[in-house]
Amino acid sequence: MNPDDEDAPIFAIAVAAELAGMHPQTLRQYDRIGLVVPGRTRGGSRRYSLRNVQQLREVARMSSEGMSLPAIAKLLDLEDEVRMLRRRVTELESALRAERENRPGVRVFAAGASGQVITLPSGRRVRRSTELVVWRPRVLQADVEPRPRQEGDDAEPAE
């Protein structure tokens, strides 16, 4: 178990109640209504994480300001969703960065004056008045299933 993990279920109900400044019965009630749901041991005992304790403190603050428990529950659900979405964005950004670092240079195709398709080295500029440049990202073969040739497919692929 990582001690820096705010979601690690480590506190028994009495300790969590003391840290949150609440009675243990209040924590049981919040668990029953799904407001702050702790982890469980194999034996079924509640174990609260640092995040749970923070949520309990937030519940107490919002409740003292007059917010209803259903409204607080909705707010906590939205905060969890935002946290999950932020984590997913970070994962996707890392995957994209890794893909860009591992991918060879982007291939550029141009149509010459006579209509032939030619591959240009990455970064080469062409005169637009005489050649048309078409940018096409390279598709990895593992991502594309080959399509069976059909009648009418006379042209060979440009490669």
Q: Which of 52, 76, 102 is the endpoint of a domain?
A: 102
92/29 same-domain check: yes
In a domain, 89, yes or no: yes
Q: For residue 66, is it left (φ>0), alpha (ψ between -120 and 50) or beta?
A: left
Domain range for 117: 108-142
For residue 13, give every residue at least 6 positions away whose Cβ sits within 8 Å of its Cβ, in sequence order, or none.
24, 27, 28, 38, 45, 46, 48
In a domain, 148, yes or no: no
For 134, the enclosing helix (H) or strand (E) is: strand 132-135
Q: Which of 52, 79, 102 is the endpoint of a domain?
A: 102
Q: Give me the number of domains the chain comprises.
A: 2
76/30 same-domain check: yes
In a domain, 155, yes or no: no
Whether 133 and 126 have beta carbons less than 8 Å apart is answered as yes
What is this structure's pTM? 0.57
56/118 same-domain check: no
98/112 same-domain check: no
Whether 38 and 8 have beta carbons less than 8 Å apart is answered as no
Q: For 100-114, write each residue's pLDDT tens digit.
A: 777 666 666 677 767
Q: For 7-54, write each residue's pLDDT tens digit.
A: 899 999 999 999 999 999 999 999 999 999 999 999 999 999 999 999
CA–CA distance, 82 with 84 (Å, rounded to integer) = 5
84/114 same-domain check: no
CA–CA distance, 10 with 61 (Å, rounded to integer) = 23
